[in-house]
Chains A and B, each alone.
Chain A
Amino acid sequence: MAALPDSLSPLLLKLEAHLRYASRSLWQHRLRALLSVLGIVCGVSSFVAMICVGEGAKRETLAQIEQLGTSNVLVRAAAMSSEQAGEARQRGSRGLELADGERLRASVTSVAEVAAVLEMKVTTLALSRQTVPQILAVTPNFGSVQGLDIAVGRFIAEADSTERNLVCVLGHGLALSLGTAGRPGGLLRLHNSLCKVVGVLHERKTGKSSAIAARDFDNTVLVPLGAVGALAGGRPDAVSELVLRLAAAKEVLPALPLIRRVLEVNHRGADDYSIIVPQELLRQAQRTQATFDAVLGSVAAISLLVGGIGIMNVMLASVMERRREIGIRRAVGATQRHITAQFMTETVLLTSVGGVLGIAVGVLGTLMLGTVTGWVTAISAWALLLPLLMSALTGLFFGLYPALQAARLDPIAALRYE
C-alpha cells in the first residue's frame, strides 16, 4: 500500500477507529440491529426491483418506438369485419393504396418520402421453422425510411421493383435458420416462384410484447412491391401500410391535421385505416413511465419512511440504554459534536448495511422475476446507487434526533446511570 501523506494518515486512522467503535457497538446488539434494518431492506429491495423492471420495460418500449422512427407517421389499413369492409366500399373508399401515398406527398410539403408495405399471405417455403415468417412486399426506400441496416449483400433496389425481379432480403434470425440457403445467392420458394436472396438484415432486438405495433424484422422476408403481381397476383396497388417520413421530427405534429384531412377525403370518410404516430406513442410511453415512476417512488418512500421510523425508535432506545457510555465518552474528552457524530455514524452504518442487503435482495428478486415471467429487466448502476444513497440519507435524517438527544445528555447524570 502506498504511504499516506502525514496530515492525512492521522485523520484516516481516527476515521477507521470511529468506524471500528461504531460497528463494535452495533455488533453488540446484532439481532436487534438486524431486525431494525428489515424495514430498510424491504424498502430498498422493492425499490431496486421496481426500478429494474420499470427500466427494462421503458427501454424495450423506447427501442420499439425508435424503430418505428420518431420522424415517421404510419398509416395502416385497418383490420375490418366483412360488414365494415362493405360499408367502406359503399362510401366509395378503395382502401389503403399506393395512390394515398402519392397524394399525401403531393399535398403535405413536409412529407419527404413515402414507403409502402404489403403484408403478403402466400404459402411459404419449405422451412422446418416453427414460426412462419412474415412476408412483406416493400418499396425500395422502405429500408432507409424504417432504418433497416443490411448486414450482408444489398437491399431491394429500384430496378428490382420496376423490373419485377424475384429477389428477397431476409431478416437476420430467419437467414441464420436457413443455413446456406439464407445467404445471398441462395434460393427461396415463395408460393410458386423461386426468389433469389440478395441481402440479409442486421440483427434487430425486439421484445416479446408487441403493444407498440413494431414489426419483428428478424423473422421477415422482404420482396419488391413491384414483384407482387408476379408472385401472387391480386391488386397491384393495394398496400397494408404507408410509412411517411417527414423532413424532421418537429414537423410531425404540425403536419398531422393535414395528413388526416387528405386521407379523410381520399377515403371519403371511411374508417378503413389508422394513423400511428411514433412520437405520440413515445410521449404516451413517457407519461406512463412518469406515472409508474411516481407510484414506485411513493412506495419506496413510504417503505423507507416506515423503516426510518423503526431505526429512530431503536436508536432512541440505544441512547437511553447507553447513557453511562455517553457519560464516559464525555468525561474522556468527547464534545457534544463527537457524540452526535458517533450516533449518526452508527445509524448511517446501520441503514447502509440495510441498503446493501436490500440491494442484494432486490437484484436477486429482479433476476428471479425476469427468469420466471420472461420480463425484460435492466439492472443499471443508478438502480443500485440511488437506493443505497437513499438508505444512507434515511439514516442521516432519522438518526439526527436520537444523536442530538445523546449529545444533550448531562455528562454527570449520564455517568450516574446504572
Chain B
Amino acid sequence: MAALIEVERLAKSYRRGAQELEILRDLDFRVAQGEFVALMGASGSGKSTLLNILGCLDRHSSGRYLFAGRDMSGLGDEALSLFRSREVGFIFQGFNLVSQFSVLENVELPFLYAPDYCADVRARCIDALGRVGLAARLEHKPSELSGGEMQRVAIARAIVMLPRLILADEPTGNLDSVSGGQILDILDELNRNGATILIVTHDVGVAARASRQMRLEDGRFAR
C-alpha cells in the first residue's frame, strides 16, 4: 500500500521562558493508506501534539511531514486550512460541538469553509448522520443528546467531507463502554471503507482493534 503519511526526523519543541521544551524528538514512521493505527502512551508523552501536527492544526519545529507525497512543511494558513477542510476529519475526546447549532448545522460547518459549497450540502450531511445512526435527530441541539450521540455527531462532521485521514483523540475517553463500543464499531466500518484512521488512546482494549499500535514515551517511539 502507498504511504499516506511519511514522517522523517520530525521534532516539536516549545520555548517557555528561557527553557526549551522538547515534546517530540526525531520521529520516523509511515502510515499506509487504509491503515488503522493506535497511538498509545502516557499523559504528556506527546500523542496529542503528534496528532495535531499530522492534522495540520499545529506545526512541527523540524524534520519532514509528507502527506500523500506532499511536503506539509512551510505551508501558510490558507493552505493548511484547506488541507484540514479536504483531507482530515478530527474527532475529539470532548466532542467539540458548537452548542448553539443544531446537529445538522454542526455537521454542515465544514462546508462553510470548503471551496466547493454546493446545493446538496444538506443531503450529504443527512447521509453522514445516517451512517452514524442519527438521521432522526437533525434539529436537536447537542445539549439534548447523550455523550455517545454527541460523539457520533462529531464523527459525522469528521467524515462529511470524505477525508482520507481521520484523527481521533481519545474518542471513547468520555463514554461508557457501550457507547464507546458503538463509536469503535463506526470507526471500524469507516476503515473497512478505505479511510485511514489514527486513534490516540490509553485504553489497551481500544488499541487492540487497530491494525498496528505505536507507543510514545517522552516524545520518542518506544522500542
Contacts and interface: CB of A to CB of B under 8 A. Distances in A.
Partners in one complex: yes
Interface stretch (B1-9, B95-103, B143-151): B95-103
Contacts of B111: 17
Contacts of A338: 81, 112-113
Contact of A332 (B58, B84, B105, B118): B84
A335 B109 contact: no
Given A330-B81, A338-B113, A412 B57 contact: yes
A76 B57 CA distance: 85
B104 to A, nearest CB: 12
A328 B101 CA distance: 12
Contacts of A334: 81, 112-113
Nearest to B84: A333
Contacts of A13: 117-119, 121
Nearest to A13: B117
Interface string B118-161: 11010000000000000000000000000000000000010001
A335 B114 CA distance: 10
B176 interface: no
B35 interface: no
Contacts of A325: 98
Contact of A331 (B77, B78, B96, B108): B96
Interface in A376-418: 411-412, 415
A415 to B, nearest CB: 6
Contact of B157 (A9, A327, A332): A332
Contact of A24 (B86, B105, B157): B105
Contacts of B84: 330-333
A21 B113 contact: no
B173 interface: no
Interface string A309-345: 0000000000000001101111111111110000000
Nearest to B90: A331
Nearest to B106: A328
Most buried by B among A328, A334, A338, A412: A328
A336 B96 contact: no
Interface string A1-39: 000000001110110011001001100100000000000
Nearest to B76: A335
Nearest to B83: A333
At the interface, is chain A mostly helix, strand, loop or mixed? Answer: helix
A415 B92 contact: yes
Contacts of B82: 333, 335
B92 to A, nearest CB: 7
B180 interface: no
A332 B128 CA distance: 15
B110 A10 contact: no
Nearest to A25: B100
A331 B97 CA distance: 11
Nearest to B157: A332
Given A10-B118, A324-B96, A332 B78 contact: no
A338 B84 CA distance: 14
A332 B161 CA distance: 10
B20 interface: no
A19 B149 CA distance: 28
Contact of B81 (A28, A335, A412): A335
B34 to A, nearest CB: 23
Most buried by B among A11, A328, A331: A331
Contacts of B117: 10-11, 13-14, 17
A325 B110 CA distance: 13
A412 B58 contact: yes
B37 to A, nearest CB: 20
Contacts of B213: none
A10 B112 contact: no
Interface of B: 52, 55, 57-58, 77-78, 81-82, 84-86, 90, 92, 96-98, 100-101, 105, 108-114, 116-119, 121, 157, 161
11 contacts: A9-B119, A10-B119, A13-B119, A325-B98, A330-B57, A330-B81, A331-B90, A332-B84, A332-B113, A333-B81, A334-B81
Closest 8 CB pairs of A and B: A333-B85, A333-B113, A335-B81, A332-B110, A14-B117, A28-B100, A334-B113, A333-B84
